[in-house]
Amino acid sequence: MELNADFSKRAAVHAARLPWSPSPIAGVDRRMLDRIGEEVARATSIVRYAPKSHFSPHTHGGGEEFLVLDGVFSDEHGDFPAGAYIRNPPTSRHTPGSEPGCTIFVKLWQFDPQDRREVRIDTTKPPFLPAPGRPNVEVMPLYQDARETVRLERWSAGAEIALPVPGGVEILVLDGAFSEGGESFEPQSWLRLPAGARLAAHAGATGCKVWVKTGHLARPQTAPAAAA
């Protein structure tokens, strides 16, 4: 399967407007944002766990990065409520599930194969900080390495957001709204701009909070070797 697989082009998905599609696991549904591959895939999705649903134990050969949007996600490492940001690096293993149900934004097979750094952040606790040189923007850093930078941003009401993205950018709306390219982006809306683009967005009347990843699209994006 290929979905929004041309990374040289802008892509936008308003996931909250899409129907849920079943995964191979009962009680686990998804809204696909981009994908290269079948069930083993370089994939970006929003995934919904029904109450008391779970996966079998499995290893993440290409790593897994996710943000809990609502409910509580659980595995052997703990219970992670809305706002939890998790990075399970390549070779990590767990048994995920949810007793009350949850929704997560998840990216699979997008790590450096040598990455072994685990990250678990409760984003409801750290403060947002003023973004240097970016008026009306506050940031909460989540992760940074030579390949990418991940953070939460808050954009003030009516803020004009102008940002060069030499390594590309992905944005997921968590709260509020913004407009870009003639489109309105609301919660669960996702935007991807290619390497070399420039973000020109306008925050809505109440501002917005967004998840942002930059830098990672400067490299070729391919299907996992395990799926080739």
DSSP string, 1-27: -EES--TTS-EEEEGGGSPPEE-SSTT
Mean pLDDT of 132-155: 96
Query: Would you say residue 1 lies in a domain?
Result: no
> How many domains is the chain built from?
2
The confidence score (pLDDT) of residue 226 equals: 60
Domain boundary among 121, 153, 170: 121
* Residue-level pLDDT at 61: 86
Within this chain, do residues 152 and 117 fall inside the same structural domain, yes or no? Answer: no
The dihedral sign for the CA sequence 81, 103, 43, 29: positive
69 with 46, same domain: the answer is yes
Confidence of residue 128 (pLDDT cuts 50, 70, 90): very high
- Clarify whether residues 193 and 107 are in a common domain: no
* Residue 127, C-beta contacts closer than 8 angstroms, at least 6 positions apart: 140
Q: pLDDT digit string (tens) for 180-192? A: 999 999 999 999 9
Q: Would 11 be classed as within a structural domain?
A: no
Could you tell me the CATH number of the domain that includes residue 101? 2.60.120.10
Q: For the segment 17-66, what is each residue's pLDDT rounded down to a tens digit?
A: 999 999 998 999 999 999 999 888 999 999 999 999 998 888 888 999 99
91 and 176 assigned to the same domain: no
Range of the domain at 135: 129-218
CA distance 16 to 30: 11
